[in-house]
Chain A
């Protein structure tokens, strides 16, 4: 207890303390910081704004914004209704199919439960699905299957697989290993092990993610119409083409309403499955 103060401690007494910097070499640290600042300035300077064009465009923007004060729900009610039904059908069908396919792929893409070859194949599928942006897939599928909701349904299913499999696999990888081990120690088969040891641990997250994906799929279904893949987006696109901003405003208000309702619903569901 009463040993003499060590010389190492003596040397440190009265010294200022500072957290060690992330980049140790001073010259490298300053080069990185100045380089980043220079890049930022240079990149803003390349944005070339045509201010006269902006001034002319303000009128059109104002007309569009003003349309929200008098949205026209009735003028094209039939078109809006058809588009909305198509979008909802597309969303539900694509979400159900996408989620059903995502579960086995998600299991296969979890390193802690899948053997290496299965893991690589499933990660490959996830990577392909995530690399291809929805719009690009939709353009391709419209080219193959023609205009209409079938292309939209396939696009959303495909995108759901990449999203949900990856996040499900990551949740499985971070599960509590010992709980699953205990089930294995009882002599359970593989399927029983998944059902008792893994599924209960990842279920809340799977439900939460599925709800979130339904929400995303609905919003995406509005965009996909712009490239001809059916749904409310097609109706919205037509309204813009005809300069019917009041109808477009009505459609946007309905989309916002449905997304908010889905958000509220998923909040309730997620709170209940904890």
Chain B
């Protein structure tokens, strides 16, 4: 469904953020992208919906090469890609409902959005999504009144109301506590499964990635170092991605946590 061909990004400063990335993601697959800070994870996600313009290479979403689209065509394509951000990126001075409905901006005209007169089915869908993530009561609160976990759930609603085929998720848990992090990751993965969405999730927390996804891609210095299942992530593999460290604790911790969760359930 999504294919990256020789995707390359060199910033004006001369930093090579991505070095010829080739990657194919089938329908409905949730993929975790891991790697050290500065490895190009955020750049890769932003090159897909062209918030960052790739220097060269192709990005195919179904039958369209996104890198060749005009600005109008790009807007149409962006509707099919929901994005979830690290610091939630809600517009803080707008209400929760306005933030969710802003996901429909690609579908409604300027005056409708300016006057906040969204089609009834959009409004209904916004309420349904807020109910699904447990924030129905917060609909008319301002976004900056919410806690981190609540904000991220609003961010998820905003991405989903676009009715996307693909979710681009940039460090969804980086500013959340460990428990909320898990809840958010679980929610994202459940929603992807419910709706048959593919997703690319940038994530720092290797253990958390292993817990929820079926495929892990490791990025180092803008190149793919690893592509496989979470079980294949051995200490040796982590060393090639991140550099020398003692990895046993990181990996064992996952199994421990899974055990305790199994026992609790």
Q: What residues of chain A have their CB less than 8 Å away from a CB belonging to chain B?
A: 176, 178-179, 181-189, 191-193, 195-197, 200-201, 203-204
Contacts and interface: CB of A to CB of B under 8 A. Distances in A.
B51 A188 contact: no
A181 B75 contact: no
A191 B105 CA distance: 10
B81 interface: yes
Given A187-B76, A189-B75, A192-B105, A179 B91 contact: yes
A187 B79 contact: yes
Interface stretch (B23-31, B106-114, B202-210, B211-219): B106-114
B93 A182 contact: no
A196 B94 contact: yes
A186 B78 contact: yes
B35 interface: no
A183 B81 CA distance: 12
Contact of A179 (B76, B81, B90): B90
Interface in B33-84: 49, 51, 75-79, 81, 83
A186 B78 CA distance: 6
Contacts of B91: 179, 182-183, 196-197, 200-201
A104 to B, nearest CB: 16
Contacts of B87: 178
**In the A-B complex, the 5 residue pairs with the closest CB atoms:** A187-B106, A188-B105, A187-B78, A182-B89, A200-B93
B89 A178 contact: yes
Looking at chain B's contact residues, is the secondary structure mostly helix, strand, loop, or mixed? mixed
A188 B106 contact: yes
Contacts of B110: 189, 191-192, 195
Interface of B: 49, 51, 75-79, 81, 83, 85, 87, 89-94, 98, 102-107, 110, 113-114, 155, 158, 162, 168
B93 A195 contact: no
B93 A183 contact: no
A212 B51 CA distance: 37
B113 A192 contact: yes
B94 A184 contact: no
Looking at chain A's contact residues, is the secondary structure mostly helix, strand, loop, or mixed? helix
Contacts of B76: 187
Contacts of A197: 91
Contacts of B83: 182, 185-186
B199 to A, nearest CB: 15
A191 B111 CA distance: 10
A179 B158 contact: no
B24 to A, nearest CB: 22
B92 A179 contact: yes
A184 B93 contact: no
Given A187-B162, A192-B110, A203 B49 contact: no
Nearest to A183: B102
Contact of A186 (B79, B94, B98): B79
Contacts of A185: 49, 51, 78, 81, 83, 168
Contacts of A196: 91, 94, 98, 102, 105, 113
Contacts of A176: 92
A196 B93 CA distance: 10
B97 to A, nearest CB: 13
Contact of B89 (A181, A192, A200, A204): A181
Contacts of A178: 85, 87, 89
A189 B76 CA distance: 10
A182 B90 contact: yes
B85 A189 contact: no
Contacts of A183: 91, 102, 105
17 contacts: A181-B85, A181-B89, A182-B90, A182-B155, A183-B91, A185-B78, A185-B83, A187-B76, A187-B107, A188-B113, A191-B110, A192-B113, A195-B110, A196-B94, A196-B105, A200-B94, A201-B92
B77 to A, nearest CB: 8
Contacts of A182: 83, 85, 89-91, 102, 155, 158
B89 A186 contact: no
Given A182-B85, A182-B91, A186-B158, 12 more contacts: A179-B92, A182-B83, A183-B91, A185-B51, A185-B81, A185-B83, A185-B168, A187-B76, A188-B75, A189-B75, A192-B105, A192-B114
B105 A187 contact: yes
Contacts of A203: 93
Contacts of B162: 186-187
Contact of A188 (B49, B89, B102, B168): B102
Contacts of B98: 196
Interface centre among B51, B83, B92, B102, by most chain A C-beta atoms within 10 angstroms, is: B102
A274 to B, nearest CB: 9
Contacts of A204: 93
A193 B94 CA distance: 13
Given A185-B51, A186-B102, A201 B113 contact: no
